[in-house]
């Protein structure tokens, strides 16, 4: 029921960071599975791998939490964001003349894209100004300087589809989501019409379509439940002047 309620008030779902709040950028979450898991988190816990990202979580009772990675030389700290969820209007007392429509979910989080080909991720947390291993992850090792770092194993992934893996002169689009729903793709090849190209469902939750296109550079996004999604199988993306992101692919 909690997940259903969170989905019902999706429009009010917010991120909060560095003292400023803004509506969640769904385009920054690449797939339905990642976004759905983020919405359904009951509490903070051990890092979770979903698709090709890791979701790190911690308690919002902590003043500030960040994570740094070995492959970046621990030189950059990525700060967690607070998860705010909408309050049920039925739970808001009439005595609140200017009610706050959002409440703390108890979770702060950071979504990290797994480097291509990585077998594991080494990282350290900084919690309230102190460097430490991840208390929610029991796996760690010491480096040559004697400092401990947390280690997260990355399971081997099957070959992922590519938009170019289709007949010559075409793009083959693949989307994974819940079964029995409507998924479409739109881009600069069809005037960004979200209704023209609807993907067909094969195995439950696996949608695909092949679109014949001449050589050129194409930008596109998927549409599912009225929201835009980038292609999680294509790391190339562009940002338009309005700030919206789109996946990009080139047919030679």
Hey, what are 86's tokens?
């909408």
Domains and CATH numbers, the chain: 2-153 (2.60.40.10), 170-251 (2.60.40.10)
Which pLDDT band, with edges at 50, 70 and 90, does 50 fall under?
A: confident
Nearest to 51 by CA among 164, 175, 165: 175
Nearest to 82 by CA among 105, 50, 66, 101: 105
Lowest average pLDDT, out of 96-100, 151-155, 241-245, goes to 96-100
- CA pair distance 82, 16, nearest whole angstrom: 5
Largest CA distance in the chain: 65
**Residue 89, pLDDT above cutoff 90:** no
Which pLDDT band, with edges at 50, 70 and 90, does 167 fall under?
A: confident
pLDDT at residue number 159: 56
Q: Which residue has the higher pLDDT, 54 or 11?
A: 54
**Residue 245, pLDDT above cutoff 50:** yes
pLDDT at residue number 166: 67
Which pLDDT band, with edges at 50, 70 and 90, does 18 fall under?
A: very low
Residues 6+ apart with CB under 8 A from 248: 217, 218, 219, 220, 234, 236, 237, 238
The reply to whether the predicted model has a pTM over 0.75 is no
Helix%, strand%, coil% for the chain, nearest 5? 10, 45, 45
CA-based torsion, 176, 6, 11, 15: positive or negative: negative
CA-based torsion, 130, 135, 137, 141: positive or negative: positive
Nearest to 52 by CA among 137, 156, 162: 156
**Residue 53, pLDDT above cutoff 50:** yes
Q: 56 with 110: CB under 8 angstroms?
A: yes
């Amino acid at each position: 029921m909690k997940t259903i309620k969170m989905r019902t008030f999706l429009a009010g779902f917010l991120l909060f960071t560095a003292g400023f709040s803004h509506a969640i950028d769904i385009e920054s979450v690449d797939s339905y599975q990642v976004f759905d898991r983020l919405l359904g988190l009951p509490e903070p816990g051990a890092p979770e791998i979903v698709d090709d990202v890791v979701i790190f979580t911690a308690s919002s009772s902590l003043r500030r939490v960040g994570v740094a990675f070995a492959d970046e030389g621990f030189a950059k700290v990525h700060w967690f964001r607070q998860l705010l969820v909408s309050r049920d209007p039925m739970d808001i007392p009439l005595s609140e003349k200017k009610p706050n429509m959002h409440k703390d979910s108890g979770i702060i989080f950071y979504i990290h894209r797994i480097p291509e080909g990585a077998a594991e991720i080494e990282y350290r947390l900084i919690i309230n100004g102190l460097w430490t291993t991840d208390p929610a992850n029991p796996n760690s090792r010491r480096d040559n300087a004697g400092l401990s770092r947390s280690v997260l194993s990355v399971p081997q992934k099957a070959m992922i589809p590519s938009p170019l893996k289709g007949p010559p002169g075409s793009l083959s689009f693949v989307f994974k989501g819940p079964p029995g729903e409507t998924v479409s793709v739109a881009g600069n090849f069809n005037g960004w019409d979200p209704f023209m190209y609807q993907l067909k469902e094969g195995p439950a939750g696996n949608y695909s379509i092949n679109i014949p296109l001449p050589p050129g550079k194409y930008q596109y996004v998927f549409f599912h439940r009225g929201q835009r999604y980038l292609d999680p199988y294509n790391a190339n993306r562009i940002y338009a002047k309005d700030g919206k992101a789109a996946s990009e692919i080139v047919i030679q």
